[in-house]
Structure formats: structure tokens, C-alpha cells
Structure 1
């Protein structure tokens, strides 16, 4: 693994939403389209991705023969069959980067015939616009160089954080599934705005603008969320009235229960 990232052939087994998001991020960095290959069994999806990114669709055996880095971006339930099929033809030093939710590096290593380095990654969908969060963990045979390469490849998609693999299920509950929580909250804000008399167009603009501005303020101000919340909440004011409803309905408990369910499901996928 001594080639620079921009000299490597990079394969994607599976080219769904997350796989395509990562391809887009790589192409926005120093990686060229002629370095990237996909193996996508859905021909309609393969045509869509190859046309959009000018990459080539190959068979699994061609991917393993050609690529020094392979992203495992299939659905978790499909990973075992894929690994069994590619195990015998992998280059011995090929780096496997798995984004299959819940699947551990031990699971992957146990299905390989060689001691390939494996890095487990939990990305999220804002990677599509370079605002994602990718959390990485080293497998048994992954070196610092493998982790550094993974960070380099993922850096164009947003923030990259390294944790112990034992924390990955919790990561899934926070950042992996997290975007959907915000989308759901915005949906509810829009629906309530319409019920309160706003047009859907205006309610949508207000809700999205508020979420975007608040997130930027949280990131850029250096002030923690609790303090920002207190700063905008006047005693006996409108915000206090709304937050009191959240408190009475035990919003903290609802969020904790939901995220615990996400973590549990990630563990079940292992």
C-alpha cells in the first residue's frame, strides 16, 4: 500500500446512494474517473452511475484483480456472499473499506482467505454534498498507513473521525442514522406551520432556513447547544412555552429510546 491515493485503482462493490456519494466526493478531490471502477449487479443502476461519473462497471473478479482499494458498499445482508465470491481473487494487500452497517471487521476478516487490511466506516448521506461525517475503525490487520489512506479518501466528503470499533454501533445511532432524525423534525415543523396558517412553501422555507442557520451557529460560535438554547429562551416567552411541551412529552426520553433502537438494530445486523 505504498502508492499515493491519486495513483491507486479504487473499486466499489455496490453503487447505491452511499457508494455514489463517496464516488462524487473522490472525484471532487484529486482522484480521477479513470481510477474508479464499480461492480453493480443492478444494470439500470450501473448505467446510471457509469453515465453520471464516467466510471467503468466491472465484474467482481475484475475489481479484485485491478483494484488496490475496494469499498464494500453493498447492503449488509449481501456482504457475506460478496466476500465469499471475492476472497480467492483479492490482492493480498488490497485495502477493504466497508460501509456495510453493523458488519464488523472480524466478520469480514473471517470470510477472507488472506489477511487483508479492513477498515470499517460509518458514513452518512450529507457526504453527497461534502458535509458528511464518516467514522472509521481499524480491523485486525489495518495499519496506521491504511487508516491514513482511508481518511484521505474520505476527507472530501466531510468530517472524518476515528474511534474504537466497539463504539461503531453507537456511532450508527448518532451520525449514521442522524440525518433522518433532522429530516423528520423538519417535516413535522412544516406540517405544524401549515396547520398554524402558513402556506407549505413559506413553512418549508422557514423550517429549512432555521435548521441550517441554527446548525451553522452551533458549529461556528463555539458555544454549546445547551447555552445557545438558553440564550434564545426568554422566561415566560414563546420559546419557553414550546420547550415546556417538549419537556412534558419527555423529548429526551423519546430521542434516547429511538437512538437505542438504532444501536440495537446495528448490533443485530452484525
Structure 2
């Protein structure tokens, strides 16, 4: 399924908004003439126009005249003001997609006061390299056709899963924030190599490729991570010694608590 000749608008060009633009044009092969973007920062608009040849608009009302589908990619704290601003310009809109952390579909539906299909999506920054994973949850007025369109859009940047909306805050804490946890782990592994004498570039390649390879093994073998871990862990060997230290330092609990804290913050964003 292809979303053309639908016209798609993206409101907000942060890191995630630009990652989606890149995915749609470079991987989904969306014609840039069908992609419209708006932002309060003229320099961002000019940059994405020059790089991707998309259509840019300095105000949201102008963008809305040209599209049938919109992706809201502003910060959660800006959602209320944005929806009030655009609510009178949505009569022809066929689908609203929100990637704002913590914002529920019923909140959007209530503010726009229209029975338009709304879907909440949590992608992640790995969309930049076509390796995101996006979770989708349907709003009250979602149709089969609108859901298919949303899937096509986000499959352009990686795999998609559907979850019940009450679990979307958990998704935010796990896969939405997750790349940062992994970046930190890679940085720490690289630092360890440097501390012990490896050149920085070599250490970073080793840490990064090890992380990538381990993830690929989980995905491609279908085996439980614990099973794969045990395959690397020889009796009395180096790996079990390292794992023992990680367990002593509550590495597992630290990751669990990080996801829990980020999940709680996602919930807080609804009231901040």
C-alpha cells in the first residue's frame, strides 16, 4: 500500500520529525511534493527544504490547506495550544497522528471536537537510520483504512507493533527512551577499553559492533536472551566473572528502574 497521492503534513521539526521526513523520502520513496512541514523556527524549515526538497509553511493554517494527513511532532507541553490553534481547520483531515510522549488519543479527540481518526505513535530516534521500532495505539474513531496508512508511514522507518493505549507510557520508557540507554552502555564499554589501553576508535567499533551483533542474534535466532547469554558463559571463564560484577552492581535492576522512571515521566507529561 502506498500513501500517495495523499498529502502528508508534519507539524514540528525536531530530531524525531526530521527522522520521519528522512524515512518517508529515502525509504518509503514518498514524493517530496506530497510532504509539507511547518515549524516556528525558519532556519529549521529552510534546512529541511534545502536537504529534502519538501514543501515548507511558516504557519500551520497554510500547511493544513494542503494536506489530508497530519503528524503532530511538537513537544507534549505544546500540544494543547497547537490543537486549539488548528481545531477549526480540520474539516478535511482524514487522519491525525501524534508522536508526543504521554498525550492520549482521547485528549486530542476532546480538544479538536471532531470525529477524525487519531492514532498515537511512539517511534524512536533510530528512525534516522531506518532502524526504529514504532508502537501504535488506535483512538476512538480509527478506521481500518486510516490504520493501514499509519502503518505504512511508520514501516518506512522500521518495524511496527500495535499495543493497547494504557501501555504506551511503558513503550515510551522502554523503546522511546531506550536508544539513550544503549548509547550510554556503548560509551561505557568504549571507555572501559580506553582505560585498559585500546585506542578510542578501535574501542568504540568493538563496543558498537558487539551491541549490534548481540541484538541481531536475539532477533534472528528467536532464542531467549538468557539462553544466548549462557552460550557465551563458560564455567570459570572471563564472561561469568564480568557478569558477576554486573549482578553485584545491580545492572539489571538499574535498567528496570530506568524504564520505570521514564514511564512515570511520560505519565507526568499529561499534567505538566
TM bracket (short chain) = over 0.9
- List gaps (5 residues or longer) in structure 2: none
List gaps (5 residues or longer) in structure 1.
none
- Asked if the contact 2:174/2:259 (under 8 Å) is kept, the reply is yes
2:257 and 2:223 mapped to 1: Cα distance? 27
- Residue 254 of structure 1 and its aligned partner are, at CA, apart by 1.1
Matched, 1:31 2:30: yes
Aligned residue for 2:112, secondary structure, equals coil
Aligned residue in 2 for 1:185: 185
Q: Determine whether 1:21 maps to 2:24.
A: no
Q: Could you tell me which of 8, 11, 32 is aligned with 1:10?
A: 8
Distance 1:232 1:129 in 2: 29
Per-residue Cα deviation, 1:55-85 (whole angstroms, up to 9, x for no partner)? 1111211122221100000111111111110
SS of match in other structure, 1:71: strand
RMSD: 1.3
Q: Compute the TM-score of the two structures, normalised by the length of structure 2.
A: 0.95
Consecutive aligned runs of 4 or more in structure 1 exceeding 3 Å deviation = none
Aligned-pair CA distance for 1:30: 3.9
Instruction: Give, in whole Å, the separation in 2 of the partners of 1:237 and 1:268.
Output: 45
* 1:181-209 residue CA offsets vs partner (Å, 9 max, x unmatched): 11000010111111111111211111112
Q: SS state of the match for residue 5, structure 1?
A: coil
Identify the residue that residue 209 of structure 1 maps to in structure 2: 209
Per mean C-alpha deviation after superposition, the further-off stretch among 158-167 and 195-204 is 195-204
TM-score, normalization: structure 1?
Answer: 0.96
| Residue-pair matches, total | 268
**Contact preservation (8 Å) 1:132, 1:159:** yes
Aligned partners of 2:144, 2:245: CA distance in 1, in Å?
48
Query: Separation in 2 of the partners of 1:61 and 1:236?
Result: 66
Deviation sequence 1:217-252 (CA, Å, 0-9, x none):
221122221100000001111000000011111222
In 1: Cα distance, 2:143 partner to 2:110 partner: 18
